[in-house]
Structure 1
Amino acid sequence: MADRKPRILWANPYCLLDLSSGASMAVRQQLLELHKRGYEIAVLGATIFDSPTGITRLKKHWEKIQKSRQTSVMINDGPLKHRLVKTKSTTRAQMTAEEEARWYQLYTKLLDQFKPDLVYYYGGRTLDLLIGDEAHARGIPVAAYLANGNYRGTRWCRDVDLILTDSHATAKMYKEQDGIDVTPIGPFIDPTYVVAEERDPQNVLLVNPSLAKGAAIVIRLAMMLEEERPDITFEVVQSRGNWEALLRQVTKQFGEERSKLRNVIVTPNTSDMRPIYGRAKLLLALSLWWESFGRVATEAQANAIPVMATNRGGLPEAIQHNGILIDLDADLHKPPYNKVPNESTMQKLKKHLLHILDDDPYYKKLLERDVGEDNPNAITISTSRLDAALRQALEP
């Protein structure tokens, strides 16, 4: 350690360049920040994404990747180089045994050649479990990133020395649920790439329209306001969800199946959210599943956009005082998250939304708290927490 920079090998079949995965985006930013602090980084992944829309960052390379006769490709990403095993499908569940074997062979080769001081990964599938097992067999410490509430039991982390997460809420949940010690380090969002240069706030924004993210609630809100308030525009940014399919599904419950609402504009997945935040007046983060943090809520905060969010998971930490928190019935927080709140609750949600949009003094009050350099969600503070946790894990 004293003779060279500390070396970290990130190893996981999911691609860190995936724009449909908040966890991938967070880890990529972590590695970029660690590189700035003197770490040597190697990245091993595959052409696996949470959603086909996640390849947006790789679009200019995608045709070349597909035509390549090599079984793996190297993608330059600034100071990071991503070695990606080529897969026939971009879906993790469809990764073949042959592709997994090829990935594992590259992983063991990197352990021998790169000689990492620590292996870092996430996941709980069989191949993922072998990552920690193989590293430990060679005496290499292992760290795992945990950014959801879906894991159960302790087998997935048996060969992990350090578990990192983004929120105190998730750390507390896993401690109470399974007795697992998890270290919260905060979010990793570089404001350079999310803060709009110019602001003309107009729209009500939803990012990643999926049932788990509360898309059904947003659809119902838009339906209620379509005639009553045609001046209010909802902007929906596609990610892993399919807005059109969900719209047909939800509108059918209320009498007429529709493929479009007049007060909704749909924006494709993008690698540059700044223009979208520039025209957003309010962000809706009405997640029904366990939102470990709420990346878009923190990005909205950086743009002085108030957030209307569910009071669950890490969302309260993400928005701090920059918005309002909504309590929903526990029944709505159960998979498959396709239930729409009753009419009374929907009327309350509509009232909250209109209060934020129409009451200028109230709107400004939601934005008046400037945490500045003391912002616990600042990337410099999160990086210091990460650096301290990793260096402790690297101590002999």
Structure 2
Amino acid sequence: MKPSILFVTSHSYLPQKIGGAEASTHQLCIEMLKNGYPVSVLSTLDSGDFISFKTRLKMKLHRTDTVCDYVMKYPVFRVWDLHEKLPKVINSLKPDWVIMQAGECIKLAKIALQTNGTHKVSIYVRDVEFAKHGGEYFADEKLSYIANSDFTSQKLLKCFQLKSTAIPPMVDYSKYKVPLTGTQIVFICPFPEKGVHLATEIAKNNPHLPFLFVESWSYTDEVKRYLVENVEPLKNVKLTPKQLDMVNIYSQAKIVIMPSLWEEAWGRVASEAQVSGIPVIARAIGGLKESVGKGGILMAPDATAFDWSEKINKLFSEPSYYREISQNALEYSQREVISVDHLTRQFIKLIEQE
């Protein structure tokens, strides 16, 4: 019997929440199922949609606070108080492996380690915002760490002297492949930490170029005001709502820009864009140096809007230069070390060895 795996996140899960961590977890679940490994997910339940209504109805009918659905083709448990329900779900499922990721992974890992059973526990670190993970990082004989990039792995080692196995986010490239016919400069998730101020300045400085800003799933009032006051008035910028299917976005993209201010642990957008040969211009910071790499253009962390504009205009005005960067992107996306098959083998090796 192959080891069973329970993935745990204090965030909500697909399709209630759509983000890089959720998409990567789903793909990993699908691949593990294909290879005969039982998988399930435990997440926080969001309110206000059909899944919430259906889950609450099941709870009432079955007089229980832990029910699952198969919307994602495998069991997903969505609960109100995840920290309280985690031991109950572990005792019920008796998984061989409990893997924490996203949200308060440290706090959840401690709960899982204190829950009776023979299960092992891993923390899949998907960002380096360590202060937001629910406690201090620690070592335990039953606990192991997985990182989503070499950058994240080195950060864990430097900050906490904790070793980890680097397994990049899993992307099913067939789901993102589009014809290279787009005309827009695409910027996804216009948050301050993602570089919205620089992206806005670039757009203002280039009124002759078309920009597509793609909204995220949640905003603070401050970010909403910024977009209304500074982005919406720009005639060369289209602000489009959040998307379930990113193919629609990438099919419009001629270039993708990633002017992040924070240390991206990986930068899944770069991987999704490069599979179609879409050039990515990104700040050379954190894991973006890995995900973009030789397949795009890495800008110095202190590069100005003028510097970014020069590169963007060169891609628009020099077809031979565009073809060169596009080909680099395509080739970089095809490297073996980030293929679904390779990452699946890596993950299975980790599970079986431990």
TM-score band, normalised by the shorter chain?
Answer: 0.7 to 0.9
CA contact (8 A) 2:18 2:244 kept: no
Change (3 A) 1:31 1:167: same
Residue 185 of structure 2 aligns with which residue? Answer: 204
- CA distance in 2 between counterparts of 1:240 and 1:349 reads 27
- CA distance in 2 between counterparts of 1:243 and 1:61 reads 24
Residue 29 of structure 1 aligns with which residue? Answer: 27
Where do 1:228-307 residues align within 5 Å?
229=208, 232-240=209-217, 242=219, 246=223, 249=226, 259-307=232-280
Deviations 1:272-302 (A, max 9, x none): 1112111100001111111000000000011
- CA distance in 1 between counterparts of 2:199 and 2:145 reads 34
Residue 193 of structure 1 aligns with which residue? Answer: 175
Deviations 1:134-158 (A, max 9, x none): 24x4332111110111216983344
Deviation at 1:120, TM superposition (A): 0.9
- CA distance in 2 between counterparts of 1:150 and 1:225 reads 33
Change (3 A) 1:241 1:306: farther
- CA distance in 2 between counterparts of 1:235 and 1:244 reads 21
Change (3 A) 1:69 1:138: closer
CA contact (8 A) 2:274 2:333 kept: no
Kindly provide the amino acid, as one letter, of the partner of residue 36 in structure 1: K
Change (3 A) 1:294 1:68: same
User: Partner of 2:344: helix, strand, or coil?
Assistant: helix
Where does the alignment leave 5 or more consecutive residues of structure 2 unmatched? none
Q: 2:111 aligns with which of 102, 113, 131?
A: 131
Change (3 A) 1:235 1:245: farther
Deviation at 1:13, TM superposition (A): 2.8
Question: Matched residues, percent identical?
Answer: 23
CA contact (8 A) 1:201 1:281 kept: yes
Structure 1 runs of 4+ aligned residues shifted over 6 Å read none
Deviation at 1:304, TM superposition (A): 1.0
Kindly provide the amino acid, as one letter, of the partner of residue 32 in structure 1: I
Deviations 1:166-206 (A, max 9, x none): 1111111221222111210112111232222x442100001
Task: Establish whether residue 366 from structure 1 lines up as the match of residue 348 from structure 2.
Answer: no
CA contact (8 A) 2:258 2:282 kept: yes
User: Partner of 1:156: helix, strand, or coil?
Assistant: coil
Normalised by the size of structure 2, how large is the TM-score? 0.86
Q: 1:388 aligns with which of 330, 343, 349?
A: 349
Change (3 A) 1:109 1:243: closer
CA contact (8 A) 1:8 1:117 kept: yes
- CA distance in 2 between counterparts of 1:304 and 1:19 reads 28
Task: Establish whether residue 43 from structure 1 lines up as the match of residue 41 from structure 2.
Answer: yes
Where do 1:87-166 residues align within 5 Å?
87=80, 99-100=81-82, 104-105=84-85, 107-122=86-101, 123-124=103-104, 127-135=107-115, 137-151=116-130, 155-159=136-140, 161-166=143-148
Q: 1:61 aligns with which of 30, 51, 57?
A: 51
Kindly provide the amino acid, as one letter, of the partner of residue 270 in structure 1: Q
CA contact (8 A) 2:277 2:327 kept: no
- CA distance in 1 between counterparts of 2:353 and 2:159 reads 25
**Count of residue pairs brought into register by the alignment:** 343
Where does the alignment leave 5 or more consecutive residues of structure 1 unmatched? 88-98, 330-340
Kindly provide the amino acid, as one letter, of the partner of residue 73 in structure 2: P
Task: Establish whether residue 16 from structure 1 lines up as the match of residue 6 from structure 2.
Answer: no
- CA distance in 1 between counterparts of 2:43 and 2:337 reads 31
Change (3 A) 1:192 1:131: farther
CA contact (8 A) 1:307 1:322 kept: yes
Residue 375 of structure 1 aligns with which residue? Answer: 336
After alignment, is 115-124 or 372-381 more displaced?
372-381
Change (3 A) 1:371 1:285: closer
User: Partner of 2:99: helix, strand, or coil?
Assistant: strand
- CA distance in 2 between counterparts of 1:36 and 1:267 reads 36
Deviation at 1:249, TM superposition (A): 3.5
User: Partner of 2:294: helix, strand, or coil?
Assistant: coil
- CA distance in 1 between counterparts of 2:191 and 2:152 reads 21
Deviation at 1:246, TM superposition (A): 4.1
CA contact (8 A) 2:95 2:119 kept: yes
Kindly provide the amino acid, as one letter, of the partner of residue 112 in structure 1: N
- CA distance in 2 between counterparts of 1:363 and 1:156 reads 44
Normalised by the size of structure 1, how large is the TM-score? 0.78
